[in-house]
């Protein structure tokens, strides 16, 4: 929030811009400060100014989770009290440290944040600062005046101790408006100066030449280089309460009550010219001007009233306040003083509404009672009572069930941030406590109805009314996928939490249903998959049973009994026709589903049945299809439409699947779906395109699943029945085709060119090595640019030839599990024996969350970059969480952790053994290797309170992901399964 609060919205109204001009009516105070005076003042002030590194551990109220820098300064040295902004102290859970000018660092803890105004206090242990001589900065709010020369001493733009000069231009600026759905100060004036502070200077002292703080820096407007300072009168009051609550020699901090009263009403200060237009009587204006000793120029006018508050149905916008408890009140400070001293009591307000005098008695409410101080966290969602701040912004009653962060559960239900939950599971949800009881009664996976505000309506597409024969035949086999990935399960570089696509049923019986879909729709097994059937209006869950390790398809299972007798009879499996393969010029029918489950089809012509894919690595490595030939058509329905390719009789020849890639922003295509991603200074766009995936490979895997043969290795549990897990033997080498005409120019002799052309007269190509996966059996044996001429003495020209050679090993008695490759390298023909690997369809099966980062074994997309650390490899950081220790200290994704506290972490077991010995609050030394090979050593502090260590592991026996707490404050070293949860 610090960075955003340092900048006013550029769209601030023109009226507010006009108010930014300097007032010259009040007399200027003579300022005879010399350069020496300022040097002395700064000499005393600078040591007491600290850099605050704060981390909001959870989204709360108006703040998002995150880490940032700000400024504070010591106002009580003996008690260890630091003053800064409220948006620095945060309204919710915060972890923070203060760094003094001599680089001594100490943890700080929040002791007060004002519910309304932008100031708060941290405390620290004064004994922890041993090597610095410093004094507290005195607070002098009375010294502020127009024309006063000032200095802002703080951490501007991340620079340690910057000093900016300025002159106070006005003392009665309206409180700055930062954003419509976030924190905004109100019922106070601000000071203004042309200082031009930026991010990081929040909480800086605004000092005069005597070294006194006369204001607190809060925000700025970059377009006009204006800085806005909060006056210190209410700060001094709060500090006095804190000081009285803890004697200087007392060891423990006790809770201190600082009375704050409210009518849940926002006032603005309007000039007499505007109050007259609002109907203020001339006699009242004369009374006010005569009663004001400061030659008052305006009055307080009601701007908004919160529903359900003390003033609701009593005050209205436009009401002009005249008296409070019989005293003329035209200043915010006088009004707030009266309210703070009258908590729980009645106050009398005299005001005019359209020139009509009115009087009302209102009970002053405790402002702290409507300020949330607890939250409920469930499935990543943060829920707490609606605060006064957000009640003002959205005009709701304080205390309602407010969604500060939707997390996974509410995000999946379409509940946005800033929503108000009215009902949950058809029960009223008016306060957080009963809502917790409702959530406790909801079983895992159970769907419940919710009532919320801020919901957006969804739209639907129109289908094709002219159905072909193929369309009518294939429609009962089509399934719409909606896939959600929990934030705690975003493994293997998966780039989104929500995917939609079309699949086709490839098997349907009384006991089991199987659907084939592309891996851009179902990217990882740790997903929640919902299936909607074109043949019957029902949505049921699916289960990921097989992810092909190389090709772009997945197989999802469903329980046919969940369809009911009627649905199960209407749904059927498609007839697969893997042979013969499609050829150029052949007519096919492209059939799929729109988002509204309307079947759509068109007749197309195959332009290329064997187009070789060439997808580059993404900025953040994730799955990409390799060693794969796809089908191209002359026309389709665009990049968002997936489905199947059939013949005229509706027999499936291929699935029309989605592929994901990234391209440079300089090469944009208007007909492709784009998502801009930024990593550092580079920028790329995520594109999606569609191609045909031959059904041949899918048919082979399907035969293995439904064969019923006893599994030799891993097995599948589908609807309670154990079935064999299809195993795929692969050569972990990325290949690409080169035309024989090009190969001749590289020196390939005529005999091989003729042999390869005879083997494949259509493609007339040779395969070349693009790279080997790091850690594979082919690494250091094959080199980039090698031409693969033959495998086991048989010429190869396409990817299918390589797959057939690998498959032949499974059918033979060859225990070596190796292939003999004939390759052409730098003008020489050589023989190389290369080992193969067997992969199952589970994908990544384990992830550890430590200090907010997700670590796993390097997945194939990382290994495909061709590099692993030499230090026995390491665990790969695939993701990190906002507001976590790794965010705070800069341990981000796209790197390996190879050592923790000097102990190697070559794999996940070693990593767990090292990290579970680390205690809460202990600093940890971490050695990392980036994807580019650059090593780095950093330190971070473990926080088991907000960020316990846990793991997710896939259990093939139950076909469930299990979550186990490894270490937390509550459990310590927890190696049992008491806290396990199934996902």
- How far, in Å, CA of 512 to CA of 720, rounded? 10
- Residue 910 has a CB neighbour count (10 Å cut-off) of 16
- How far, in Å, CA of 530 to CA of 541, rounded? 4
Give me the sheet containing 427-428, strands edge to edge: 427-428, 421-424, 450-452
Look up 201 and say whether it is catalytic. Answer: yes
| Ordered alpha helix ranges (H), 59-109 | 86-89
Cis before 580? omega within 30: yes
The active-site residue out of 87, 269, 551, 873 is: 87
- How far, in Å, CA of 300 to CA of 335, rounded? 9
Q: Are 46 and 165 in contact (CB under 8 A)?
A: no
Strands 381-385 and 949-955: unpaired
- How far, in Å, CA of 392 to CA of 642, rounded? 46
Look up 87 and say whether it is catalytic. Answer: yes
User: Token pair for residue 739?
Assistant: 């035309």
Residue with tokens 């200077």, as numbered in its chain: 201
The active-site residue out of 68, 162, 201, 620 is: 201
Could you tell me how many helices (H) and strands (E) the chain has, helices first? 20, 60
Answer positive or negative: Cα dihedral of 694, 695, 700, 702: positive
What is the SS3 string spanning 540-576? Answer: EEEEEEEECCCCCCEEEEECHHHHHHHHHHHCCCCCE
- What is the DSSP track for 430-462? -SHHHHHHHHHTSPTT----EEESSPPPP----
Nearest alpha carbon to residue 610 among 382, 765, 490, 727: 765
- How far, in Å, CA of 484 to CA of 427, rounded? 26
Side-chain-side CA neighbours of 200 within 13 Å: the count stands at 14
Instruction: Give CB contacts under 8 A, 24+ apart, made by 367-371.
Output: 367/115, 367/116, 367/260, 367/261, 367/262, 368/115, 368/257, 368/260, 370/115, 370/262, 370/264, 370/398, 370/399, 371/91, 371/115
Residue with tokens 């959530």, as numbered in its chain: 439
| Ordered alpha helix ranges (H), 76-193 | 86-89
Strand ranges (E), 551-671 = 554-558, 587-593, 599-612, 629-633, 643-646, 652-664
- Region for 596 from its dihedrals, namely left if φ exceeds 0, alpha if ψ lies in -120 to 50, beta otherwise: alpha
- How far, in Å, CA of 13 to CA of 413, rounded? 36
User: Which value, to the nearest 10 degrees, does the dihedral of the CA atoms of residues 154, 158, 160, 161 take?
Assistant: -20
- What is the DSSP track for 281-334? -HHHHHHHHHH-TT---EEEEEEEE-TTSTTTTT--TTPEEEEETTEE--SHHH
- Write the CB contacts of 922 (distance below 8 Å, at least 6 apart in sequence): 941, 942
User: Token pair for residue 973?
Assistant: 């070293």
Q: Are 316 and 305 in contact (CB under 8 A)?
A: yes
Q: Are 648 and 590 in contact (CB under 8 A)?
A: no
- Region for 161 from its dihedrals, namely left if φ exceeds 0, alpha if ψ lies in -120 to 50, beta otherwise: left
Grouping H, G, I as helix, E, B as strand and the rest as coil, residue 238 is helix
Q: Are 266 and 187 in contact (CB under 8 A)?
A: yes
The active-site residue out of 61, 76, 118, 619 is: 118
Grouping H, G, I as helix, E, B as strand and the rest as coil, residue 17 is helix
Catalytic machinery residues:
87, 118, 201
């Amino acid at each position: 929030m610090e960075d955003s609060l340092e900048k006013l919205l550029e769209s601030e109204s023109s009226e507010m811009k006009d108010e930014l001009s300097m007032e010259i009516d009040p007399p200027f105070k003579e300022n005879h400060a010399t350069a020496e005076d300022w040097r002395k003042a700064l000499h005393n002030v600078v040591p007491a100014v600290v850099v605050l590194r704060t981390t909001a551990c959870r989204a709360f109220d108006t703040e998002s989770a995150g880490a940032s820098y700000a400024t504070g300064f010591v106002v009580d040295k003996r008690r260890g009290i630091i003053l800064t902004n409220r948006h620095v102290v945060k309204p919710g859970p915060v972890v923070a440290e203060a760094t003094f000018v001599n680089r001594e660092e100490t943890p700080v803890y929040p002791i007060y944040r004002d519910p309304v105004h932008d100031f708060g206090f941290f405390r620290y242990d004064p004994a922890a600062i041993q090597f610095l001589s410093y004094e507290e900065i005195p607070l002098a709010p009375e010294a502020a005046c127009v024309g006063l020369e000032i200095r802002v001493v703080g951490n501007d733009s991340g620079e340690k101790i910057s000093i900016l000069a300025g002159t106070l231009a006005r003392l009665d600026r309206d409180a700055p408006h930062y954003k419509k759905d976030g924190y905004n100060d109100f019922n106070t004036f601000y000071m203004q100066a042309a200082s031009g502070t930026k991010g990081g200077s929040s909480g800086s002292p605004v000092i005069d030449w005597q070294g006194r703080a006369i204001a607190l820096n809060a925000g700025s407007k970059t377009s006009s280089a204006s800085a806005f300072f909060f006056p210190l009168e209410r700060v001094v009051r709060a500090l006095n309460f804190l000081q009285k609550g803890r004697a200087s020699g007392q060891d423990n901090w006790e809770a201190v009550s600082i009375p704050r009263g409210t009518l849940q009403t926002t006032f603005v200060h309007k000039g007499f010219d505007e109050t007259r237009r609002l109907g203020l009587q001339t006699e009242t204006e004369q009374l006010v001007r005569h009663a004001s000793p400061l030659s008052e120029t305006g009055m307080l006018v009601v701007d908004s009233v919160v529903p359900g508050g003390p003033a609701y149905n009593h005050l209205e916008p436009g009401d002009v306040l005249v008296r409070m408890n019989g005293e003329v009140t035209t200043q915010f400070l006088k009004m707030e003083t009266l309210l703070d001293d009258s908590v729980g009591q009645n106050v009398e307000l005299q005001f005019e509404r359209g020139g009509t005098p009115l009087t009302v008695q209102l009970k002053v409410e405790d402002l702290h009672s409507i300020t949330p101080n607890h939250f409920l966290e469930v499935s990543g969602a943060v829920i707490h009572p609606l605060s006064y701040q957000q009640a003002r912004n959205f005009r709701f009653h304080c205390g309602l069930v407010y969604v500060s962060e939707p997390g996974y559960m509410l995000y999946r239900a379409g509940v946005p941030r800033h929503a108000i939950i009215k009902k949950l599971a058809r029960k009223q949800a008016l306060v957080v406590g009963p809502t917790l009881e409702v959530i406790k009664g909801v079983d895992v996976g159970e769907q419940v109805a919710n009532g919320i505000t801020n919901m957006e309506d969804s739209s639907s597409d129109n289908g094709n009314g002219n159905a072909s024969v193929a369309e009518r035949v294939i429609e009962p086999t089509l399934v719409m996928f909606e896939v959600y990935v929990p934030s705690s399960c975003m493994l293997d570089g998966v780039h989104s939490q929500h995917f939609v696509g079309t699949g086709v049923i490839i098997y349907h019986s009384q006991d089991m249903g199987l659907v084939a879909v592309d891996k851009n729709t179902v990217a990882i097994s740790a997903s929640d998959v919902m299936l909607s059937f074109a043949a019957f209006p029902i949505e049921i869950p699916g289960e990921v049973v097989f992810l092909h390790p190389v090709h772009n398809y997945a197989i999802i299972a469903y329980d046919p009994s969940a369809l009911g007798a009627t649905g199960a009879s209407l749904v059927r499996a498609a007839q697969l026709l893997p042979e013969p393969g499609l050829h150029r010029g052949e007519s096919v029918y492209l059939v799929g589903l729109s988002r509204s489950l309307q079947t759509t089809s068109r007749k197309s012509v195959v332009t290329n049945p064997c187009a070789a894919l060439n997808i580059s690595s993404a900025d953040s490595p994730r799955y990409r299809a390799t060693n794969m030939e796809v089908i191209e058509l002359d026309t389709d329905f665009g990049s968002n439409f997936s489905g199947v390719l059939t013949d005229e009789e509706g027999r499936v020849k291929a699935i029309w699947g989605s592929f994901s890639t990234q391209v440079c922003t300089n090469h944009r295509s208007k007909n492709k779906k784009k998502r801009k991603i930024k990593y550092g200074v580079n920028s790329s766009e995520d594109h999606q395109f569609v191609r045909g995936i031959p059904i041949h490979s899918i048919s082979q895997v399907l035969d293995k699943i439904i064969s019923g043969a006893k599994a030799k290795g891993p097995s599948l549990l589908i609807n309670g029945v154990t079935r064999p897990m299809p195993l795929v033997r692969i050569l972990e080498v990325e290949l690409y085709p080169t035309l024989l005409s090009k190969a001749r120019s590289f020196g390939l002799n005529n005999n091989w060119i003729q042999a390869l052309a005879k083997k494949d007269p259509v493609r007339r190509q040779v395969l070349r090595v693009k790279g080997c996966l790091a850690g594979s059996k082919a690494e250091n044996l094959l080199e980039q640019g090698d031409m693969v001429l033959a495998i086991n003495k048989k010429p190869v020209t396409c990817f299918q030839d390589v797959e057939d050679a690998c498959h032949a090993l499974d059918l033979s008695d060859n225990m070596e599990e190796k292939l003999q490759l004939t390759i052409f390298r730098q003008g020489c023909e050589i023989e190389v024996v290369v080992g193969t690997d067997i992969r199952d369809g589970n994908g990544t099966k384990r992830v550890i969350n430590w200090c907010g980062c997700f670590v796993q074994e390097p997945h194939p997309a990382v290994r495909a970059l061709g590099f692993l650390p030499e230090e026995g490899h390491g665990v790969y950081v695939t993701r990190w969480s906002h507001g976590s220790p790794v965010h705070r200290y800069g341990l981000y994704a796209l790197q390996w952790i190879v050592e923790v506290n000097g102990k190697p972490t070559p794999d996940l077991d070693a990593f767990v053994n090292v990290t579970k010995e680390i205690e809460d609050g202990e600093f940890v030394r971490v050695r990392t290797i980036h994807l580019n090979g650059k090593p780095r050593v950093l330190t971070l502090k473990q926080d088991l309170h907000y960020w316990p260590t846990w793991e997710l592991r896939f259990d093939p026996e139950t076909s469930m992901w299990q979550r186990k707490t490894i270490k937390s404050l509550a459990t310590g070293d927890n190696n049992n399964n008491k806290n396990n949860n199934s996902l």
